Structure 1
């Protein structure tokens, strides 16, 4: 059953229950439901909806059990504007108006707002923000797993180790839990790297990316295989295969590697795992992942693309979806009786926004919501904390006065523009979608093919890549101690709150005040 159908069915049942409970015994037989419970012109629709929401909120008991399992979902670049637009995109995809829909995690009982700035920049990148929400320490832009005492590019500051910071992945491992990372980007990209690596520059993903002169620092891919935290991660699924084998070799799919040191880190990963005495498996396609027996292997490395994984709208049969990777990771990690910590990133929301390809950005967000829904179905929410958030915003806006039902990816009412030219409901403050004026007139988009997957939505300022936005991002929580994620707080508060709920880490916890 789709998320939309499930939501409508649940709502109809709750509407009926509310109608019955809201009346006295004498009135029950007199009351009749409106012709349609989704008749927005009927005042009863809105009163019933609001009363149901109120009753649901006041009846939610506080869960103060220890979170045996934790799943942290990160929608990279998933701004609140992106959430609002995706609701409409998903709803219209199934023939509805869309605004009334809620994404899977938007029904979570507790919501907060996180402030995303870096120590040295007011608008965050994925490296400093990843360090904040995974380690609990705010950092400088472009740096991963290091405090703000280290500036971007400071190899010496990385090497001395004094300013290295660890967080949830390390804390969970020390507590005897299994750990995993799932992403649709390269597994060495800034966001997943923040969970296990320490790098003065997020771009140092392979040794070939390091500066040719000066001190030599360990690259991020090497840290995943050899690092104290990285080598102990049980499940790693995503893209970025090229960063793990030599540039003079080709992989099974014919792609050339990116490493210049001649090291085959995939083989090294397998050997290292076996030296630990654990069962390990490497996979590189969807079939091998889906047919893998989760009870047979406790450690799995899946690298499904040489670079980022393809967008969902362009994926082939051999490309696993975010939901499929998440499900397999949970199956494997759940074998540990001590529980697990899983970090899941929907990373291509961000890359689509950078390209001002709004259609892809919304579709990736919808896929991200599916992955959350899949996880919710698989775990016991009495003992599993699920936190869904974003690292930063983007500059996409949702504007105009379009009528309900207007295509979210189409034009708004063109009469609202003083030059009588159409404009799209979604647009960006900057990016590659800028069109120069012709004879002092704005570009006429009527001839544009907005249905093209790669259509770049209009931007006000021309930049090669659209930038991030600096506003707060939403945090959604469900499960043990989820109520402590409400309110407004610094982004680095998130891992401290998770650690408190799961009784891991060196700080205050629910079982160790």
Structure 2
């Protein structure tokens, strides 16, 4: 990570080089693995703060942590919009944040203040927000926006305080409206990251609700952009082991039973191949959750193999695209092809032939 020759420019960096605006929106910590891929160069995804680097036995002064790269890195400091959770990775341990949580940094740096000083030094119009009302009140001519709404990951949609914490849809809308200012176009990364964390806990209720929230964010992006000049690509970085059993009666509740198994006991529509929802067989009888259990949001769904955290799945994932050059996103492809196709469509990658000029991607 310390050898520049080992680094690969992200698609966001290519947009920045061409003078286009860029942004990151996520429901996880903004320093989490997927959003970090937009701006960071790191040997370890867990090095989100200098404390994490030190705990792994490495030197933070040699191995720059992800939060530090977000504020000072070439790509990170040029991001126009940053919205999500993870406030603790930007604050020193001796400082208590707005909601009463301590920071996690050991270098005594307040990276939020450093971000503010940085924007002041270049005379930019900026705003730091940490509540929903502040986000919705951001001036439309803001050039740089940093929003950190939780000390860690943002709350699940079903658990969040709707008066203080914005939805993914609201963050997406705010980001697009700011990035649309100007005529050079923009790149925006939007992640419904808590779909993944809910599946790891086999919380099917929360995972599917987060998926619905992600769908709302996609629809909002469609509603406020023009298909003629805006390419929208929707995909996932991996699958999970949740399965959807067939043969349930038409109109059945997905959080219910699919039918009767050969052991004369009911079986659920939703199941996981592994995870914390595993229950051992007692007296030769398979565990069958009750309707009351399945109606609870925090119910851990049945798993066939016990694991503390459910694993990712090995399935191919879908990829959906709308807008200029969307027809290129078809068939089976390696995930690393996607940014090259976006670069081609938006004419930001000098190493490949340019597609027809588009305003945004």
RMSD: 1.2
**Structure 2 segments unaligned to the other structure (5+ residues):** none
Answer 1 or 2: higher relative contact order, Cα 8 Å, separation at least 6.
1
What is the match of residue 187 of structure 1? 30
What is the match of residue 456 of structure 1? 300
What is the match of residue 391 of structure 1? 237
What is the match of residue 418 of structure 1? 262
SS of 1:449's partner is helix
CA displacement at 1:441 relative to structure 2: 1.7
For normalisation by structure 2, the TM-score amounts to 0.95
What is the match of residue 163 of structure 1? 6
What is the match of residue 505 of structure 1? 349
SS of 1:225's partner is helix
SS of 2:318's partner is strand
- Is residue 204 from structure 1 mapped to residue 47 from structure 2 by the alignment? yes
C-alpha change, 1:162 and 1:368, in structure 2 (3 Å) is same
C-alpha change, 1:201 and 1:214, in structure 2 (3 Å) is closer
What is the match of residue 367 of structure 1? 213
Q: How does 1:299-448 map to 2 (within 5 A)?
A: 299-316=144-161, 317-414=163-260, 417-446=261-290
Distance 2:58 2:243 in 1: 43
CA displacement at 1:214 relative to structure 2: 4.3
Paired residues of 1:255 and 1:306 also in contact (CA < 8 A) = yes
CA displacement at 1:510 relative to structure 2: 1.3
SS of 2:258's partner is coil
CA displacement at 1:511 relative to structure 2: 5.4
C-alpha change, 1:511 and 1:372, in structure 2 (3 Å) is closer
Whichever of the two has the greater Rg, that structure is 1
Distance 1:197 1:397 in 2: 34
Paired residues of 2:25 and 2:190 also in contact (CA < 8 A) = yes
The equivalent position to 1:487 in structure 2, one of 331, 341, 354, is 331
Q: What is the aligned residue count? A: 352
C-alpha change, 1:497 and 1:306, in structure 2 (3 Å) is same
**Structure 1 segments unaligned to the other structure (5+ residues):** 1-157
What is the match of residue 78 of structure 1? none
C-alpha change, 1:272 and 1:436, in structure 2 (3 Å) is same
- Structure 1 residue ranges, 4+ long, deviating more than 6 angstroms after superposition: none
Distance 1:430 1:211 in 2: 33
C-alpha change, 1:447 and 1:438, in structure 2 (3 Å) is farther
Q: Deviations over 1:444-495 (max 9, x none)?
A: 3236511111000000000000000111111100101111111111111100
Q: Deviations over 1:296-349 (max 9, x none)?
A: x11000000001001111110201000000000011111121011111000010
SS of 1:210's partner is helix
Distance 1:220 1:161 in 2: 16
For normalisation by structure 1, the TM-score amounts to 0.67
